[in-house]
Amino acid sequence: MANANGGSLPTGSEKAEKLKESANVAFQARKYATAISLYTQAIELCNSNAVYWANRAFAHTKLEEYGSAIADATRSIEIDPEYVKGYYRRGAAYLAMGKFNEALKDFRQVCKIVPKDPDATKKLKECERAVQKIRFEEAIASEHVKSCTVVDFRTIDVEEAYSGARIEGDKITLEFVKTMMEDFKNQKKLHKRYAFQILHEVKELLAPLPTLVNVNVPNDTHITICGDIHGQIHIHFLEYFDLMNIFDLNGLPSDENPYLFNGDFVDRGSFSAEVIFTLFAFKCLYNSGMHLSRGNHESKSMNKMYGFHGEVKSKYNESMAEIFSELFCCLPLAHVLNKRIFVVHGGLFSRDGVKLSDIRSIDRFREPPDEGLMCELLWSDPHPGLGRIPSKRGAGVAFGSDVTQKFLEENNLELVVRSHEVKEEGYEEEHGGKLITVFSAPNYCDQMNNKGAFIKFVAPKLKPQFTKFVSVPHPNVRPMAYANNIFSWLS
C-alpha cells in the first residue's frame, strides 16, 4: 500500500518492531509504564512474537506487577516452548512472589533447553541454595517462636566506649530521639540496649490497639499521611535523609503535629532499621502523634526476601529480627479519620458488602494469608475501569471506581487513601477523586525517578493538601544490599 507521498507504508510487523525498539529505549530509561504501553501496542500488531511478551513481562516485574509478568511470560512460552527468556522471566516473577517450587521448575527448564550454558547452570544452583536456605530458616523459625519478653533490655550493658544516643532511665525523650536521628545521619548504629527498649515499649502500645483504629482530628487541627518509605534514608553530609526530609518539610511528629505512616516502612531500601527505629521511637514519645498501619512488606516472608530480616541480623542479631516479625503482627490494618476518610495500605475487596465492623473483627496477629480480607487490605490496587479484575501483582484484587463508590456509600465514608504503588508525582487522585494513592519514597530503589509526596488534612473540611519532594543524595550503599543474593541477578 502506498502513502500520500508515493512511498510504501510499513507492514504491521515492521511497525511492531519499531514499537518494540521504542519500548526498549523507555525500559532502559526506567520508564517502565511507558515501556509496557509500547510493548502492548507491538503485541496488538503482532501477538505471536514471544519476545514482545517476555519483554513486557520484564517491565511488569520492574513495577512489581508479578501476576501480569507471569501471565505474559507464560504466553511467550506458549508461542515458543524453547524460548529461554520466557521461562527465565516467569521464574523470576514466581520467585519474587515466594512461589519457590514454580520458580525452580522454570529455572530447571532453562538449563534443560541450554544445558551447556554455564551462566544458566550457575544461577540455577544459586537459586536452589537460596530456596533451601529460606525453607530452612522458616522451619527453624516455626519451631522456635520467640517473644518480645525473652530479651530484657535492662540486662544489656552499654560499653563506656559507646558515644551514641542514650536513654537515661526508662523514659524515651525528644532529646534522645533527635540525637539518635543525628547518629543515623552519620551512619552510627543505635546501641542494642536502646533498640530492644524501643521495641519493648512500642509493643506495649501497639498490641492493645484495635485492627481498625478511629482517629479523631479536632477542628482547626491537622494530620499528615505518608505512604511507603521502604527503608530509604539517603544520607549525605548535612542533607536530611528521605524520611527526615519529610520531617524537615512538615515538622517533627508530636501530639500537635500528628502523622500516619501507611505501611511498607521496611525492605528494599538498605536503611530500614534506621527508618523503623525512628518511627517507633516517635510512637513511644507521642502515642497520639504517630499512627502506623501495616503494609504488605511488614511480614516475615517479604522481609526474608527483600532485605529487612538480613539487615537486622547484620546490624543487630537474629533475636531482634524475630521480635520485629512479632511486632509487625501487632500493627493495625487500617484507620478512619473523623468517620470520613478510610486509610489503608493496599485497597478494597473481592466482594461487596464489607463493613467497617468486618475489618475490626479480623484477627491481625498473624502472618498475612494468601486470600481474604486481610490479604486484600494489604495487597489490592485500584484500576481505572469498573468492577473487579485479577490483580497485576498476583495477590489481592484490582477494583474499579464503582467498587470504591459502593464501599464508601455502604460505610458512610467520603474518601479512600491508600499507598502501595509508585506514582510519578508521588501521589495520584483516581476514581473521580474518591481514592488517593500516596507514595513517599522518591526515586524508589534508586531507579524509578519518581517524586515522593505526603498529604495534610485539616479539620473540619479535611480537604487533601499535597506536598511533593525529590530524593536527596545518599552514600554508596545500594538498595537491596541485605536482600537474598538471588535478587542481585534477577534484577
How far is the C-alpha of 471 from the C-alpha of 449, rounded, in Å? 9
Please give the C-alpha separations between residue 381 and each of 53, 96, 240, 411, 418, in angstroms, as whole numbers: 23, 18, 31, 19, 9
How far is the C-alpha of 37 from the C-alpha of 99, rounded, in Å? 27
How far is the C-alpha of 469 from the C-alpha of 450, rounded, in Å? 9
What backbone phi and psi angles, to 5 degrees, belong to 152? Answer: -100, 105
Of residues 191, 200, 230, 297, which has the active-site annotation? 297
Closest CA to 246 of 266, 225, 265: 225
Instruction: Name the DSSP letter for residue 451.
Output: P
Strands (E), 53-186: none
Residues constituting the chain = 491
Instruction: Name the DSSP letter for residue 2.
Output: B
Residue 261 is inside which H or E element, if any? strand 259-261
Whether 291 is catalytic is no
Closest CA to 74 of 55, 93, 62, 87: 87
Closest CA to 416 of 426, 427, 430: 430
Closest CA to 203 of 151, 138, 155, 144: 151
How far is the C-alpha of 356 from the C-alpha of 360, rounded, in Å? 6
Instruction: Name the DSSP letter for residue 371.
Output: S
Does residue 453 contact residue 438 with C-beta atoms inside 8 Å?
Answer: yes
Query: What's the half-sphere exposure (Cβ side, CA atoms, 13 Å) at 208?
Result: 5
Strand partners, 225: 260, 455
How far is the C-alpha of 100 from the C-alpha of 453, rounded, in Å? 35
Catalytic center residues: 297
